Amino acid sequence: MKNNDSTATAEIVAIGTEILLGELTDTNSVFIARQLRDIGVNVFFMSSVGDNAPRIAEVIRIALQRSNIVITCGGLGPTVDDMTRQGIAEVMKRPLHYHPELFEAIQARFTSYRVKMTENNRRQAYLPAGAMPIANPVGTAPAFYVEVEDKLIISLPGVPRELKYLMSSAVIPLLQSRFSLGTIKARILKTAGIGESSLDDLIGDELLNNSNPSIGLAAHHGTIDIRLTAKASTEQSADEMLDTMEARVYQKVGEFVFGEGNTTIEEALANELIRNDSRLLFISAGIEIKSALANVSSDIVTYLHYSTPEDLKCAFQLDSSLELRELAISSAEELRRFHQVDIAIALISLPDVDESPDANDATAIAVVSSDLSSSRVYGFGGKSLLAQEWGPRWAFAQAWLSLSKRHTNA
């Protein structure tokens, strides 16, 4: 019987002590969440729990109180620490029931693999009494689901390949048959050259407090995503809602939007350099730069690298007393003129510093063009991944914004 609740909600429970120990990254929950989003199921909570039956039961009980779909992943293997079946049986207050047909399927699977099956695989043929098996033709761990009044608990294996197959072949059709679902669609606008609080202020409370479509901000190294999410009965309706909201967002902050989806600031900057027939010089000292712009033609982007700030000073006879920020600004200005480029970026770091509360000025960066002079300092040095990632992207964002405005005003 179909549940006519149009606001189906789900909680995802990742099971495995290795997740809690940091030995394994839980990619399964992210995949499940995206699949549920696409069929209109709201995911408000994700949980992780170790291989312990009482704790698994406790987490699932809590999940059932706030969601009508609970999907677990992991803990369905043959070893003694695979406790998902026991945990769900405890929630249901039912015993585990042996399914000989499942054991035969497991045996057949091992035979097809030409691998000898050990006796402990028999554990996988035990399911909570009343559970409905979900055939797993791509693995040895049977999945299953159980009904709790008008709610569902669905248990999937933790092997990503098996989980992905079962989500598309069994779980999605099951949910669509049990719940009246629409669709949830998301669209991401990528912004740069503005801080998160300033972006929030420009968009305004009226749009940010809108419930459907909803708007959320997510800050990354040097860029900020604006996520638009719409829920509707059809994909066409969701797209129309997103189109309307996107137009309103563009009216507010369109000058800072450099792309959508997976577009990177490096790609946006390279395109602006080409469109404006401009050249960029990137000077680094005391820090190794790994950037997608390194793949752009040297006719457009040129890199100069020096092992230490002192090497840069000596190479261009710059004042030896310059502090990092002064050195970044001075070298960007001097080398921009020397190389006759449109934009120069200088990223200067103390090479032996990672991140220390004692180092306020361990990295400095400057962006200079005919209509731009912007700089900032960071407390992390050349050994820090933050300096290697955040510094260049902040600079690329400033350069892109300058070129974008130049093109717009032309």
Arithmetic mean of pLDDT, 358-365? 80
User: What pLDDT shows up at residue 129?
Assistant: 94
- In the predicted structure, residue 360 carries a pLDDT above the cut 80: no
User: What pLDDT shows up at residue 3?
Assistant: 57
Cis peptide before 213 (omega within 30 of 0): yes
Each domain of the chain, given as residue ranges in start order, spans 9-178, 183-260, 265-409
To the nearest whole number, what is the mean pLDDT of the chain?
Answer: 89
| pLDDT, tens only, 133-180 | 998 888 888 899 999 888 999 999 999 999 999 999 999 999 988 888
- CA R_g for the chain: 28
Q: Are 312 and 284 in contact (CB under 8 A)?
A: no
d(CA 302, CA 300): 7
- Asked: is 183-260 a CATH 3.30.470.20 domain? The reply is no
**Which DSSP helix (H) or strand (E) runs through 396?**
helix 385-409
Q: Quick one: tokens of 356?
A: 């220390």
- The structural architecture, per CATH, of the domain 265-409 is Alpha-Beta Complex (3.90)
Torsion of CA 115, 117, 118, 124, to 10 degrees: 130
- In the predicted structure, residue 406 carries a pLDDT above the cut 80: no
- In the predicted structure, residue 68 carries a pLDDT above the cut 70: yes
- Rounded to two decimals, the pTM is 0.72
User: What pLDDT shows up at residue 110?
Assistant: 75
Which tops the pLDDT comparison, 114 or 368? 368
- In the predicted structure, residue 115 carries a pLDDT above the cut 80: no
- In the predicted structure, residue 294 carries a pLDDT above the cut 80: no
User: What pLDDT shows up at residue 123?
Assistant: 84
Q: Is 46 helix (H, G, I), strand (E, B) or coil?
A: strand
User: What pLDDT shows up at residue 407?
Assistant: 61
Report which DSSP code applies to 271.
Answer: H
Q: What is the 3 state secondary structure string of 329-395?
A: HHHHHHHHHHHCCCEEEEEEECCCCCECCCCCCCEEEEEEECCEEEEEEECECCCCHHHHHHHHHHH
User: What pLDDT shows up at residue 410?
Assistant: 55
pLDDT confidence of 318, banded at 50, 70, 90?
confident
Arithmetic mean of pLDDT, 336-362? 85
User: What pLDDT shows up at residue 174?
Assistant: 94
- In the predicted structure, residue 55 carries a pLDDT above the cut 60: yes
pLDDT confidence of 319, banded at 50, 70, 90?
confident
Would you identify the CATH topology of the domain 9-178? Molybdenum Cofactor Biosythetic Enzyme; Chain A (3.40.980)
Arithmetic mean of pLDDT, 197-214? 93
Arithmetic mean of pLDDT, 341-357? 87
Q: Quick one: tokens of 82?
A: 């695979």
Angle among Cα 48, 159, 157 to the nearest 5 degrees reads 65
| pLDDT, tens only, 229-288 | 998 888 899 999 999 999 999 999 999 999 999 999 999 999 999 998 999 999 999 998
User: What pLDDT shows up at residue 220?
Assistant: 85
User: What pLDDT shows up at residue 379?
Assistant: 85
